[in-house]
Amino acid sequence: MIKIVIIEDEIPARKKLIRFINELKENTEITAEIDNVEQAIDFLRTEKSIDLIISDIELLDGNAFEIYDQVKISCPIIFTTAYDKFWMNAFETNGIEYLLKPFTLERFQKAWNKFLVLNKSHASDEILLKISQIQKEIQPKSFKERFSVISNKGIYFLETERTTFFKAEEGVIFAFDDSGKKHLLNQTVLKEIESQLNPNEFFKINRSELVNKKSIIKLERYSKNALALEMKSWGNPLITSQSQTADFREWIEK
């Protein structure tokens, strides 16, 4: 039995984590669901038989790192947050993964698999040594600031912050800027572009479109499980897929 503590103050995010945990093949038990720093400190001071902590960073009454400053933790921690600025603090504690919200089941599974590798060792000192090795390997995540654009006069550059959305069309990728102009990119796979962008700022709303949060002007209901997005300097609405709508709703509120 793998005993897990969830530290998360947002109910939808907590429910999502529980859903992801329930889909795992391993036998798990959620020992506690905690939503604030004070309660977490009290609980972790007395409860030692924990295999994994899944912890948000910004909580109701403060920052989660206050918990780990006051309580010695011997188990790994998977951090979840909507902000990428805390990554260094996360890996200075027992952090083994840093999941930026909104994260997918696939991304959660990768973090879980890393935990399983560590958990094969039953000696806490050895686990902490492995965590220390992971920390040394971690490098800061940098995001792409501009894209090269092909034209008949050569190559020029489009700033990422000026891009309202990216669209995949028949094996090529176009970027649309804040004036409504269309640009042909060198990349041919939308997933490649998605991996280079800040997930707090860009979201893949369907199989072919990736949008900039700052360029979304208005949302309207398109169908029971889809939304229509009005984008800056673009006449036609972009439509979320049914599978992405719930995660998009969570992402847009961050």
CA distance 10 to 33: 11
Q: Quick one: 82 and 183 in the same domain? A: no
State mean pLDDT over 96-105.
86
Q: For residue 219, what pLDDT is reported?
A: 96
Q: Quick one: 9 and 119 in the same domain? A: yes
Place 138 in a pLDDT band, splitting at 50, 70 and 90.
Answer: very low
State mean pLDDT over 136-157.
77
pLDDT higher than threshold 50 for residue 146: yes
Could you tell me the residue range of the domain that residue 170 belongs to?
Answer: 146-252
Q: Quick one: 95 and 151 in the same domain? A: no
State mean pLDDT over 109-113.
92
Choose the most confident range, by mean pLDDT, from 61-70, 72-81, 214-223.
214-223
Choose the most confident range, by mean pLDDT, from 62-76, 79-93, 173-187.
173-187
Q: Quick one: 124 and 209 in the same domain? A: no
State mean pLDDT over 27-44.
94
Q: What is the CATH number of the domain that holds 224?
A: 2.40.50.1020
Beta partners for 2? 28
CA distance 89 to 85: 9
Q: Quick one: 98 and 123 in the same domain? A: yes
Query: 3-state DSSP call for residue 210?
Result: strand
State mean pLDDT over 33-57.
92
State mean pLDDT over 49-68.
88
Domain count, the chain: 2
Place 90 in a pLDDT band, splitting at 50, 70 and 90.
Answer: very low
pLDDT higher than threshold 50 for residue 123: no
Average pLDDT, the chain: 86
Q: Select from 147, 142, 159, 165 the least CA-distant residue to 212.
A: 165
Quote the Cα angle for 85-88-91, to 5°. 130
Sheet of 216-223, strands arranged across: 216-223, 226-231, 238-239
CA distances from 67 to 55, 100, 106 (A): 10, 20, 28
Q: Quick one: 34 and 119 in the same domain? A: yes
State mean pLDDT over 59-64.
85
CA distance 51 to 65: 19
Whether omega before 102 lies within 30 degrees of 0, making that bond cis, reads: yes
Q: Quick one: 120 and 197 in the same domain? A: no
State mean pLDDT over 127-147.
62
